[in-house]
Structure 1
Amino acid sequence: MARHDTHPEVSRPPQPRPAAPIDRKRYLRVSWFFGRAFAHLLWHDVVLRLPLLSLLRRDPLARWRALARRFRLLAARMGGVLIKLGQYLSTRVDVFPLEVTRELAGLQDEVPPAPFEAIRRQIEDDLERPVEEVFAELEPTALGAASLAQAHAARLLDGEPAVVKVLRPGIEVLVETDLRAIGLAIRWLKVWGFVRRRVDLDRLVEEFAATTRRELDMRAEGEHAARFAADFAGDPQVLIPRIFRRASGRKTLAQERVDYLKVDDLEALERAGVDRRAVARVLYATYMRQIFVHHFVHADPHPGNLFVRPLRGAGDPPGFAVRPGEPVPPGTARRFQLVFVDFGMVAAIPERLRSALRSYLIGIGKRDAGAVVRAYAEAGILLPGADLAQLEEALERLFDRFWGMDIGRLGDVVRQEAASLWRELGQLLLDTPVQLQVDLVFTNRALELLIGLVTRLDERFNLWTETLPFARRLAEEQAEGWLGRAASQARALGDLPADAAQVLNQARRGRLSVRTALAPDARRQLVRLERAIDRAAANLLLAALLLAGAVLYDGSPILGSALMLAALAGGLWRLLRAVVG
């Protein structure tokens, strides 16, 4: 493992700094887009659900696709945080229709580089010395440029090859502008009770903003890289680039050059003699360790942030080594190292969720639907009132249908059966009280990107097969912990006779009471029936008032207008209740 000259400590949050000013013109433009989108959803998905108006509704999938296309064009044109937001939304196939995620999937974080002179000035301002006192060479042409930063090849004063990552000049203003506009849109979303009950929107905005701002602090990224290097110090198949602290600052990060083969360049991997299916397995295993062992996750595993370093194979001469940035000679059966770069976006899994995540994985490994549902409840994803038994039955049906399928077959079946799956489970998902755990948002993002990447590397990748060994290890570790608690549980069993005697004594005295209640599913169905009856009665009354007003208007304009106004007022009142609650 390469040596790091940074201290492998837990990342500290960036030091407070004065709030950056915002670009008013950009803010108004982005806010205008979100405002139009909000009005669009309000009109089509709330107003046009009212009696008689529902006939005017258009195909919802076509509307969602058009809205996603407009956002993609806006993000591609304006860059900044909008690109990252679009990339994140493109992975949320559990929230948005497939037409939306497909439209956003093509949004690439690639923009023209900033002028080199501006980059050079920023490096000198950041490091407080001329570039020549830090680097022997600094290439003017960027290796790559993204929405927040760009990278340049360099050579340190001692001749060591390096890559220098530099924030785009003025990016703080763009980020603060976009975050403020996104925050405004989130505040609008809080009007909807359905959304408000399922996600802590204030926490979500805070987490998204904090993670994005951390990406603007290169010192924090260096510390993240050091922690990953410590986490994988004993793994010969993982390489984390060294960070050159003396050539780094808050806006500048100098690191070891590691641009070997791109992880998704399948032809190059094959030509180099690297088994891409083995790469997929190693990549997946590293994420199992990040989530369930280290609890510290690289949250941005897109192909630009992962490389493969071919190592000496059986047919290579002694001393064979591949240099970064240079062509790899053809070979066969070469070993490899998986290389991670760009540690700006990371996710730390809090202590309160770690046990639930381990229980979830063990439940998956054992094909135990009840254990998985209980893990959801332990994590706080399922709120009180959720019908755990019905969810368990639904999950068992999914296990029966999909267990053991490789990822390619699984995707085909889900696409083919999406409509029937929604008919079977959609109402249950809508009725189940859930709360998105904001602490897992970026971990979920990493997993969704990971699944897409391993599928590209190996279309027959089997999640079940690769997950089971890890789940078994966690179960064994958990069993060892249970042995230590067995004695205390045995002592608790000894108290049962006394507890039973107390219950019998209360019964003899006539003080024993039994509480009964409807089963959760029956109660939910009864409430649903009552609401349906209320809605039908209200719709009938409003329609009757509207019709009566139209009939009487010619003979008695005042009475007819009054009846139609009453119908309109009633409709607006129902609309307000639907939006808020």
Structure 2
Amino acid sequence: MGSRLKYISVYRITVIVWMAVKFLLQIFWFQKRHRIWDQVTKRKWKELLKKQAQEYRETAIRLGGLLIKFGQFLSSRADLLPRSFIRELEGLVDRVEPVPFHYSKKILEEEWGCSIYQQLKSLHESPVASASIGDVYHGTLHNGASVAVKVQRYRVREIFNVDFKALRIVFFIIGKFTRYGKKADLPALYKEVVTVITNELDFRLELDNGHRFKRRFKDFPYVYTPYYYQEMSTERVLTMEWIEGAKITDLSFMKKHGIKPEKVAKTLFDLCVEQFLFSGMFHSDPHSGNLLIRPDGTMVVIDFGMVGEVKKTDADSIRSMVQGFILEDYDRVVGALIEMDFLLAEADIDRVKKIIKQTTDLYLDGGFGQLDANKTNDIMDELQVFIKQQPIQLPADYAFLGRAASIVVGVLTTIHPQVDLIDWGRPVIKRWMSGTDSHTSFYKEIIRESAKPLLSLPRALIQFLEDGNKQREWQRSRLQKKFFHQFYLLYGLLAFLVMSAGSGTVIYAFVGNYSLLLLLGIVVGGIGLFGMLVVTVSHFRMIKNTKY
């Protein structure tokens, strides 16, 4: 009876909307009863959110459809939900009961326009995987090649369209009756959800994504993307090469075939860094089920239903934002956030800038290596409060990027627990920070910032003298770096003036045929040139040894 009910529109809409209304009423009543937020209240609050998330997960598994995909979407949105709620949703795996085979067979024959056995020599009736959108079957072509055939589930588009209507009602209620509705751009968020999830319902887009990924990483070492049979793929059917292999986290498989886990982890790290930092498409769901390892050590990437894209303008904005953090130019940081549509129109720019500066100064001056678990939790809590206070809304691609990065870190630590992400990432970050136009652009930025010694040096000294004893110790390391940059620049400028003076003397003596003056000019110019070389090399080494 329950399996039949989930296909009834009124039932689905009622269940989804009532669950949302019940959650809102529980939250309203809790806040009404608890005016003082002490430790006991906070603990009860987290328990309430955990209970709600568990109910959402159970309902999603029971109904299937949009709730599973929307739950996965929400699990990437730290800007929308508390961490205690998200933590529960992260366990929402897209695995459901398969549909009866005769439904899948009917869809195959409708899409192919012929009997399935005209296309296939054989097809196993039991799917090897079942998700909210499609079931995957193992088949064999007439030439003997093994294929994986993904078939859209029975009435799935109809179910999703009903769920979208329910979601619109929920968003309307949130917009009219909650404070969050006044802060967030709910119409834009609804559009994002519909666009992202609807794209997964068209397997032709997944086919195109697979081809794009294969082209982009065709020469990437030890990485393979399956071959797709375009002539056997439609909006509701996707046919691809069958891959024999194990999950990338199967350490016993690696040991059996003499594969080094560290090498596999490094391959995955390099592949994902290339996707996440540089413009182009990236895989949004790189969990261990979508990453396989072959007996020869080759990593296979599958399932391109969920992808995001880092546009070139976005990559430049992210790079500019990171440079802003390093150079303590918070106007640049905020400007990059605006360019990337992180900040909505009504954001208090001055307050955003102030909070970013305070948070950065408080936690990052000591270096990332000094962040323990407590500090990390403090950062996350402060960011959560910060996001609640300001009209910030992550575009879907950035949310997926963050989710994908966190999934990859989990996979990496499973494969190779001793992984040193900072050590592996340092050369890539330096290359990325340089940008695509110039390999020295970042260093130019540092030099440009350091070219204000007559203004910034006195200002830094005054700030140092005015700060209390507690602040002085905290700022000493940062001030020393600033001073060294400025002193190197001053020494370099003096050396350049000496070299210029010597060059001018040489030219004047050469024209006037003054041999003694010519010799003097060569000596002075040589001293200046030597000084410039020493200063440049020393400054470059200091920058190179700085850990970002």
**Secondary structure of 2:270's aligned partner:** helix
Relative to structure 1, is the Cα distance of residues 173 and 357 closer, same or farther in structure 2, using a 3 angstrom cutoff?
Answer: same
2:514 corresponding residue in structure 1? none
User: CA offset at residue 266 of structure 1?
Assistant: 2.6
Corresponding position: 1:30 with 2:42? no
Corresponding position: 1:145 with 2:106? no
1:62 corresponding residue in structure 2? 47
- Alpha-carbon distance in 1 for matches of 2:24, 2:382: 30
Corresponding position: 1:447 with 2:447? no
**Secondary structure of 1:62's aligned partner:** helix
Kindly provide the CA deviation profile for residues 338-376 of structure 1, in whole angstroms up to 9, marking residues without a partner as x.
211111111123454231123345567x68685656543
User: CA offset at residue 251 of structure 1?
Assistant: 0.8
Paired residues of 1:239 and 1:340 also in contact (CA < 8 A): yes
Corresponding position: 1:477 with 2:435? yes
Paired residues of 2:101 and 2:125 also in contact (CA < 8 A): yes
- Alpha-carbon distance in 2 for matches of 1:28, 1:424: 36
User: CA offset at residue 438 of structure 1?
Assistant: 3.9
**Secondary structure of 2:126's aligned partner:** strand
Corresponding position: 1:219 with 2:184? no
2:415 corresponding residue in structure 1? 457
Aligned length: 432
- Alpha-carbon distance in 1 for matches of 2:67, 2:342: 28
- Alpha-carbon distance in 2 for matches of 1:454, 1:367: 31
- Alpha-carbon distance in 2 for matches of 1:418, 1:472: 24
Paired residues of 2:72 and 2:90 also in contact (CA < 8 A): yes
- TM-score, structure 2 normalization: 0.70
* Residue type at the aligned position of 1:24: V
User: CA offset at residue 106 of structure 1?
Assistant: 2.7
Relative to structure 1, is the Cα distance of residues 90 and 422 closer, same or farther in structure 2, using a 3 angstrom cutoff?
Answer: closer
Q: Larger relative contact order (C-alpha < 8 A, sep ≥ 6)?
A: 1
2:394 corresponding residue in structure 1? 436
- Alpha-carbon distance in 1 for matches of 2:352, 2:251: 46
1:398 corresponding residue in structure 2? 363
- Alpha-carbon distance in 1 for matches of 2:98, 2:384: 45
Kindly provide the CA deviation profile for residues 8-64 of structure 1, in whole angstroms up to 9, marking residues without a partner as x.
xxxxxxxxxxxxx9722112112211121122223323x44679xxx9999211111
User: CA offset at residue 67 of structure 1?
Assistant: 0.9
**Secondary structure of 1:195's aligned partner:** helix
Corresponding position: 1:44 with 2:30? yes
User: CA offset at residue 439 of structure 1?
Assistant: 4.2
Q: How does 1:93-242 map to 2 (within 5 A)?
A: 96-191=81-176, 194-196=179-181, 199-242=184-227
User: CA offset at residue 391 of structure 1?
Assistant: 1.5
**Secondary structure of 2:109's aligned partner:** helix
**Secondary structure of 1:165's aligned partner:** strand
User: CA offset at residue 161 of structure 1?
Assistant: 1.2
- TM-score, structure 1 normalization: 0.67
User: CA offset at residue 238 of structure 1?
Assistant: 1.6
Paired residues of 1:88 and 1:445 also in contact (CA < 8 A): no
Relative to structure 1, is the Cα distance of residues 402 and 260 closer, same or farther in structure 2, using a 3 angstrom cutoff?
Answer: farther
Paired residues of 2:247 and 2:291 also in contact (CA < 8 A): yes
- Alpha-carbon distance in 2 for matches of 1:343, 1:95: 25
2:233 corresponding residue in structure 1? 248
- Alpha-carbon distance in 2 for matches of 1:182, 1:202: 11
Relative to structure 1, is the Cα distance of residues 42 and 447 closer, same or farther in structure 2, using a 3 angstrom cutoff?
Answer: same
Kindly provide the CA deviation profile for residues 70-111 of structure 1, in whole angstroms up to 9, marking residues without a partner as x.
111111212222122223434445654443333333322111
1:542 corresponding residue in structure 2? none
Q: How does 1:301-340 map to 2 (within 5 A)?
A: 301-311=286-296, 336-340=297-301
Paired residues of 1:199 and 1:437 also in contact (CA < 8 A): no
- Alpha-carbon distance in 2 for matches of 1:35, 1:132: 49
* Residue type at the aligned position of 1:434: I
**Secondary structure of 1:141's aligned partner:** coil
1:71 corresponding residue in structure 2? 56
**Secondary structure of 1:190's aligned partner:** helix
Corresponding position: 1:287 with 2:272? yes
Corresponding position: 1:376 with 2:337? yes
- Alpha-carbon distance in 1 for matches of 2:250, 2:292: 9
Aligned counterpart for 1:346 among listed residues 303, 307, 310 = 307
- Alpha-carbon distance in 2 for matches of 1:479, 1:255: 38
Paired residues of 1:144 and 1:151 also in contact (CA < 8 A): yes
* Residue type at the aligned position of 2:418: R
Corresponding position: 1:264 with 2:249? yes
Relative to structure 1, is the Cα distance of residues 275 and 202 closer, same or farther in structure 2, using a 3 angstrom cutoff?
Answer: farther
**Secondary structure of 1:460's aligned partner:** coil
Bigger share in helix: 2
- Alpha-carbon distance in 2 for matches of 1:380, 1:24: 37
**Secondary structure of 2:305's aligned partner:** coil
Relative to structure 1, is the Cα distance of residues 168 and 259 closer, same or farther in structure 2, using a 3 angstrom cutoff?
Answer: farther
* Residue type at the aligned position of 1:37: F
User: CA offset at residue 277 of structure 1?
Assistant: 3.0
Paired residues of 2:65 and 2:163 also in contact (CA < 8 A): yes
- Alpha-carbon distance in 2 for matches of 1:461, 1:374: 34
2:532 corresponding residue in structure 1? none
Paired residues of 1:303 and 1:453 also in contact (CA < 8 A): yes
Kindly provide the CA deviation profile for residues 135-191 of structure 1, in whole angstroms up to 9, marking residues without a partner as x.
111111211111111111111122211110111111112211222222222222223
- Alpha-carbon distance in 1 for matches of 2:154, 2:65: 12
- Alpha-carbon distance in 1 for matches of 2:336, 2:265: 27
Kindly provide the CA deviation profile for residues 226-281 of structure 1, in whole angstroms up to 9, marking residues without a partner as x.
01111112113221111101222211111011241111223322333222233233
2:353 corresponding residue in structure 1? 388
Bigger Cα displacement from structure 2, 170-179 vs 343-352: 343-352
Paired residues of 2:316 and 2:435 also in contact (CA < 8 A): no
**Secondary structure of 1:32's aligned partner:** helix
Paired residues of 1:373 and 1:392 also in contact (CA < 8 A): no
- Alpha-carbon distance in 2 for matches of 1:396, 1:358: 20
CA RMSD of aligned residues (A): 3.4
- Alpha-carbon distance in 1 for matches of 2:238, 2:121: 16
User: CA offset at residue 293 of structure 1?
Assistant: 2.6
* Residue type at the aligned position of 2:137: H
Q: Once the two structures are aligned, what percentage of the paired residues are identical? A: 25
User: CA offset at residue 464 of structure 1?
Assistant: 2.5
Relative to structure 1, is the Cα distance of residues 466 and 204 closer, same or farther in structure 2, using a 3 angstrom cutoff?
Answer: farther
2:320 corresponding residue in structure 1? 359
Q: How does 1:415-434 map to 2 (within 5 A)?
A: 416-417=374-375, 420-421=378-379, 428=386, 430-434=388-392
Relative to structure 1, is the Cα distance of residues 388 and 294 closer, same or farther in structure 2, using a 3 angstrom cutoff?
Answer: closer
Paired residues of 1:90 and 1:102 also in contact (CA < 8 A): yes
- Alpha-carbon distance in 1 for matches of 2:84, 2:172: 26
* Residue type at the aligned position of 1:446: A
- Alpha-carbon distance in 1 for matches of 2:384, 2:198: 37
Relative to structure 1, is the Cα distance of residues 22 and 363 closer, same or farther in structure 2, using a 3 angstrom cutoff?
Answer: farther
* Residue type at the aligned position of 2:394: L
Relative to structure 1, is the Cα distance of residues 275 and 67 closer, same or farther in structure 2, using a 3 angstrom cutoff?
Answer: same
Relative to structure 1, is the Cα distance of residues 421 and 253 closer, same or farther in structure 2, using a 3 angstrom cutoff?
Answer: closer
Paired residues of 1:218 and 1:344 also in contact (CA < 8 A): yes
Kindly provide the CA deviation profile for residues 501-550 of structure 1, in whole angstroms up to 9, marking residues without a partner as x.
xxxxxxxxxxxxxxxxxxxxxxxxxxxxxxxxxxxxxxxxxxxxxxxxxx
* Residue type at the aligned position of 1:289: E
Paired residues of 1:362 and 1:472 also in contact (CA < 8 A): no
